[in-house]
Amino acid sequence: MLPEQLTEVNQQAEASMKQAFTYCKKELSQVRAGKASPSILENMKVEYYGSQTPLNQLANVSAPEARLLTVEPYDKSIIQDIEKAIMSSGLGLNPNNDGNLIRIPLPLLSEERRKELVKHSRKIAEDARISIRNVRRDAKEEIKKKVKSESLPEDSQYQAEEELQELTDKYTGLVDNIVEQKEKDIMTV
């Protein structure tokens, strides 16, 4: 059994690794995969009474069809502002406004664009893996310091490092799985 000090280090490391994975998952959900998904507009902000407000607080965003998003503002007076925010978002979307509802048809992705999106997804995943490995490195140093400063047995250091490596493998595996799934979504028409 590991000494409490080393267990604590591993628990903190796991929390940080989980955070890196969660961030990766969130970022990947915003990469457009050809199918309409309200998460594409999740981080979009709209100018509303002088402040930047998240779109999901101002409107209902849904995907009634595979290639169509709809945005229904709670306050119809800001429909122009929402449309402007969508157009200037850099997502390459072309919204249609009928006064009550904004329809956003999603164009088919070209092969070249799909490859760019896969490349972007892999970069997000690699950043998450690097973050996880950095957590492992920092935790390893912390384990060595604690073993030395608190005169803990050397065996507990190796055991703690082994558990730390298992955590690292677990979270990098989760990142690999999620990016692999995202790549399949992007490349299938």
Integer CA distances (angstroms), 3 to 144, 152, 174, in order: 13, 8, 28
pLDDT at 88: 81
What residues form DSSP beta bridges with 103? 70, 96
pLDDT at 34: 65
Q: CB neighbours of 178 closer than 8 A, spacing ≥ 6?
A: 21, 24, 25, 28, 125
pLDDT at 189: 59
pLDDT at 133: 96
| Cut 0.75: pTM above it | no
Q: Nearest 5°: CA angle at 28, between 25 and 33? A: 140
Query: What is the chain's pLDDT, residue by residue, as a tens digit (189 residues)?
Result: 778 888 899 999 999 999 999 999 988 887 766 677 777 777 788 888 888 888 888 888 888 887 888 989 888 888 888 888 888 877 777 888 888 888 988 877 788 888 888 999 999 999 999 999 999 999 999 999 988 888 888 888 899 999 999 999 999 999 999 999 989 888 875
Integer CA distances (angstroms), 121 to 18, 37, 116, 127, 171, in order: 18, 16, 9, 10, 17
Domains of the chain, each with CATH number or no CATH? 4-30+110-187 (1.10.132.20), 38-105 (3.30.1360.40)
Query: Helices marked H in the chain — which ranges?
Result: 4-29, 55-58, 79-87, 111-149, 154-187
